[in-house]
Structure 1
Amino acid sequence: MLEIKNLKKSFSGRVILDNMNVTVKDREVLSIVGPSGAGKTTLLRCITGLEKADSGEFLIDGQSFNPQGTDTSDSVIGVVFQDFNLFPHLSVFDNITLAPTMVLKKDKNEAKAEAENLLAELGLKGKGDLYPFQLSGGQKQRVAIARALAMHPKILCYDEPTSALDPNLRREVEKLILGLKQDGMTQLVVTHDMEFAKNIADDILEVSSLDKLNQK
């Protein structure tokens, strides 16, 4: 279980998150919704260590951890970015295996075998030798998910996973997230799409203003 206590974050004196408390239960999906500029992505970036919180506490299963601490957070929080952030000069296999081999010190053959299994599970069997420019938007997203899962995170976070997808692909993302939930993955999803949020979430966190969050 992820717990965030009294989180504060401001930019140039402007308060974005103020004394926020959030709980993400094990094996559940939390959707974070709200208008643009209300702090959804800032919250996600603080949780994943991409932004440093001004103050607050982060706990996993009751144990304090630092999202920016590479020794602990690399295998705790995984993130799928809105624009996927795949390395264009690397193949799908190399995109997925880079972090496990460099950070987790996995054997290259072991990492590639795991990548093959992940691609098969995500409907991308046989795509490992392709490059990002050869993939559709939906395929790039699944590669980004495979890359995050290869680090064996306890929690997987998504930033606007349906923003660039048509309705059919949005339904595929819903199935993907719900399938990962059945496999036991705890997930946190930032989205502006309330219908999508309701379809996938066990709980919804609505960002109602720049400095106030209400968990429903």
Structure 2
Amino acid sequence: MLKLENVTKSFDGKTIINNLSLEVKDNSILSIVGPSGAGKTTLLRCIAGLERVDSGSFILNNQSFDPFDESVKERVVGVVFQDFNLFPHLSVMENIALAPKMVLKQDKATIEKNVNNLLSQLGLTNLKNQYPFELSGGQKQRVAIARALAMQPQILCYDEPTSALDPNLRDTVAELILDLKKTGITQIVITHDPSFAKKIADQLLEVKPLNN
């Protein structure tokens, strides 16, 4: 279980997150929904260790956890970014394999086995030698998810997973997130779409812009 206790984050004197506490149960999906400027992405970036909070604490499995600690954060929290952030000069296989090789120091055989399993799980096997420019938005998203999962995180976060896709792919994304839940991973989804949020969520957090 992930707990946030009294988390506060400000930028240039403007409070974005104010004394927020929440719990995310293991193997559950938390949807964080709200308009632009409400602090959704800032909250995700704090959980993922991409921004340091001003105050407050994080507890993972009943132990204090610092998301900003480089030695552990990538193994705890994976992120699927809104624009996917794939390396354009690397193939699908190479994009997914890079972090396990560079960060986890896995051997070639282990990486190849794990990557092939992820490719199969996400329906990407026939695309493994393709490059990002050859992929559709939905395919890029699945590659980004596979790349995050290759680090074997305990928690997988998504920043607006439907915003860069055609509207008719929204249900496909929902099905993918719900399928991943069956593997036992905890997921946190940032979205401005209330109906999508409710469709996938075990827990819903609505945020609003603060009056500073």
User: One-letter code of the match for 2:169?
Assistant: L
C-alpha separation in 2, matches of 1:38 and 1:196: 18
Shifted more, 52-61 versus 106-115: the winner is 106-115
Residue equivalent to 2:27: 27
Residue equivalent to 2:198: 198
C-alpha separation in 1, matches of 2:125 and 2:91: 14
Cα distance change, pair 155–211 in 1 and its aligned pair in 2 (3 A): farther
Cα deviation for residue 74 of structure 1 reads 1.5
C-alpha separation in 2, matches of 1:113 and 1:137: 26
User: One-letter code of the match for 1:31?
Assistant: S
Cα deviation for residue 168 of structure 1 reads 2.7
Residue equivalent to 2:123: 123
SS at match of 1:17: strand
What TM-score, normalized by structure 2, do the two folds share?
Answer: 0.97
C-alpha separation in 1, matches of 2:197 and 2:74: 26
Cα distance change, pair 211–129 in 1 and its aligned pair in 2 (3 A): farther
Percent identity at matched positions?
A: 63
SS at match of 1:75: helix
Residue equivalent to 1:89: 89
C-alpha separation in 2, matches of 1:84 and 1:8: 27
Cα deviation for residue 210 of structure 1 reads 2.3
SS at match of 2:86: coil
Residue equivalent to 2:17: 17
Cα deviation for residue 208 of structure 1 reads 2.3
User: One-letter code of the match for 2:19?
Assistant: N
SS at match of 1:111: helix
Cα distance change, pair 143–211 in 1 and its aligned pair in 2 (3 A): farther
Residue equivalent to 1:171: 171
Runs of 4+ in 1 over 4 A off after TM superposition: none
Aligned pair count reads 212
Residue equivalent to 1:103: 103
Deviations 1:110-153 (A, max 9, x none): 21221111011111112111110010000000000000000000
SS at match of 2:157: strand
User: One-letter code of the match for 1:197?
Assistant: A
SS at match of 1:15: strand
C-alpha separation in 1, matches of 2:123 and 2:55: 41
Residue equivalent to 1:6: 6
SS at match of 1:70: coil
Uncovered stretches (5+) of structure 1, i.e. residues with no partner: none
Cα deviation for residue 166 of structure 1 reads 2.0
SS at match of 2:90: coil
SS at match of 1:58: strand
Cα deviation for residue 211 of structure 1 reads 6.8
Uncovered stretches (5+) of structure 2, i.e. residues with no partner: none
